[in-house]
Structure 1
């Protein structure tokens, strides 16, 4: 049997993937990649990946643990959004299991912007950055712009449709970021059942990759983003059978 990892946390950025990756590393029957975000499937040439190149990817994983019965996984949250990445995942392992965490799209965009400012990748004020995103992103054409994507990555319905085009429902698990933060043990139990591993009591005391809370989005920007995301958020909930819940839109 060809060596293939068992699951990927494929999205979305700024929704709790770092926490989920860290929690799953505590489970004795789950072995995550040596580092979070190997970025294998989203940095390959558009034409695909030669099978012989998988050894580069496989160096990230403990195959002795896999032979002993552990499931192998990794977290690269751009995969669900980056064009062609999910198709390359399907080519690699069409039976792979995929976890996707979705966050209130307004809050996700704000958190993404704040992260880019901290990393020195963004210098424009938030009102300008979100209103000029499409024009700025066109500078990368015909390529997809990884940096100018605060709004783009918060459109979830196209990502869900692409996931469902390639993978069956029993291969997909969609979680809410707000639920993972609010009742971590319950959501982690869902992940364990999905992956077919035993229940586990996780240490959930630490917050991972959390940003300072002192900054606040202006009411004008929040109202603007609610209008921008209203249709996609409604479609997302319809696709997944979710209520609005804690989301602002």
Structure 2
């Protein structure tokens, strides 16, 4: 009987995007978001609409994004998870033009650990012939002039300069529309962090949270101390910038 059917609506605009950073817990957070009864995620974990330059050559057709979503119950909000968005420069403005009221979720991880995890993932997938230290030292030359998709694949260090990436977002979106959380806190205090994220989205906390690691691949080797010192020296100034920008204590990211 139609009078008892729940009313549904076609998606007009996404309500939020989990925009980064890669290798910072976004797969796990996507899992918990998808389990919430009032949240609908797309039919692909990473749709990659806003970082696909081909979609913006002659005016964006947002139906190419919305086709990944079913009709929504009136009580539901819709979100996407594409962790490369925070890094790719044109994305912030593209999202703002799409929906200036959208909410953005960002997870940030110690950039030294993030870089090594990124390299390890590429090695695991058979995409990276170089050892970690060699890949880091060759990074600028490898990504210079490379197509965006290829450059991002090997931007182990460059993706970790969070300060400039956040500044780009804040040029378009007020702070109250951007929720930034630390990966380390999300991992150690998952229930508390999730409750804060769901509150930001206007949703009640999940009744049950079962801690799970997601998208974890075996490590080929551990990072050595020489590599860690080298990377920390690259990131130290940016880490201080992030602390000041967000009011964070990032002592756990420092040597």
TM-score (structure 2 length as normaliser): 0.91
Partner of residue 232, structure 1: 238
The residue matched to 2:62 in structure 1 has which SS? helix
Change in CA separation of 1:141 and 1:29 when aligned onto 2, cut-off 3 Å:
closer
Partner of residue 104, structure 2: 98
* Residues 54-73 of structure 1 mapped to structure 2, 5 A cutoff: 54-65=62-73, 68-73=74-79
Give the unaligned 5+ runs of structure 2. Answer: 1-9
Aligned residue pairs total 246
Partner of residue 9, structure 1: 18
Question: Is residue 2:190 matched to residue 1:184?
Answer: yes
The residue matched to 1:25 in structure 2 has which SS? helix
Partner of residue 45, structure 2: 36
Please say if residues 236 and 254 of structure 2, whose CA atoms lie closer than 8 Å, have aligned partners that are also in contact: no
Please say if residues 185 and 201 of structure 1, whose CA atoms lie closer than 8 Å, have aligned partners that are also in contact: no
The residue matched to 2:80 in structure 1 has which SS? strand
Change in CA separation of 1:42 and 1:141 when aligned onto 2, cut-off 3 Å:
closer
Change in CA separation of 1:126 and 1:213 when aligned onto 2, cut-off 3 Å:
closer
How far apart are residue 2 of structure 1 and its match?
7.8
Which of 12, 19, 22 aligns to 2:31? It is 22
In structure 1, C-alpha distance between the alignment counterparts of 2:58 and 2:85, rounded to whole Å: 15
Please say if residues 7 and 99 of structure 1, whose CA atoms lie closer than 8 Å, have aligned partners that are also in contact: yes
Which of 86, 100, 103 aligns to 2:92? It is 86
RMSD, aligned CA: 2.0
Residue deviations 1:106-152, cap 9 Å, x none? Answer: 00000000000111110011111001111111141799822220001
The residue matched to 2:79 in structure 1 has which SS? strand
Moved over 3 A (4+): 45-49, 141-144
In structure 1, C-alpha distance between the alignment counterparts of 2:68 and 2:147, rounded to whole Å: 32
Please say if residues 185 and 202 of structure 1, whose CA atoms lie closer than 8 Å, have aligned partners that are also in contact: no
TM-score (structure 1 length as normaliser): 0.93
